[in-house]
């Protein structure tokens, strides 16, 4: 079955995209912070780099969330304007048969 995405909810799209990017940022920043904390005793200027990375561990995911939300929201608005003219992104979906499992039998 061929369908097309005619409209994206700007808030929903921006929120989900921003959450994914914030989690990815945290996953990348956390190991770097741990590495910098391990290297701090070997640095002559004390704990300044470790403190900076400690703050960045919390600041960067928040910044990623805010900016990704803003640009995701704007991107969804622009997509909605373009989709009105072009018909949206076409995709093919396949209907799969529903099979009974233990979880569906209880409902």
**Digit-coded pLDDT (tens) for 41-76:** 666 665 566 677 778 888 999 999 999 999 999 999
Give the SS3 label for residue 35.
Answer: helix
pLDDT value of residue 21:
95
| Proportion of the chain above pLDDT 70, given as a percent | 84
Give every CB contact of residue 32 below 8 A, 6+ residues apart in sequence.
53
Place of tokens 């960045």: 56
Q: Is residue 33 within 8 Å of residue 56, measured between CB atoms?
A: yes
Q: What are phi and psi of 91, to 5 degrees?
A: -145, 155
Average pLDDT (20-37) is 87
Cα–Cα nearest to 66, from 23, 30, 9, 19? 19
Extended strands (E) in 1-107: 2-5, 89-92
């Amino acid at each position: 079955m061929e369908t097309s995405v005619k409209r994206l909810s700007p808030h929903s799209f921006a929120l989900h995209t921003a959450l994914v990017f914030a989690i990815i940022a945290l996953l990348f920043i956390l190991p770097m912070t741990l590495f910098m904390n391990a290297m701090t005793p070997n640095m002559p200027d004390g704990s300044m780099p470790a403190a900076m990375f400690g703050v960045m561990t919390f600041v960067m995911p928040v910044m990623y969330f805010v900016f990704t939300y803003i640009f995701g929201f704007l991107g969804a608005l622009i997509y909605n304007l373009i989709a009105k003219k072009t018909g949206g992104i076409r995709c093919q979906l396949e209907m799969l048969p529903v099979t009974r499992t233990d979880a569906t039998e209880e409902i």
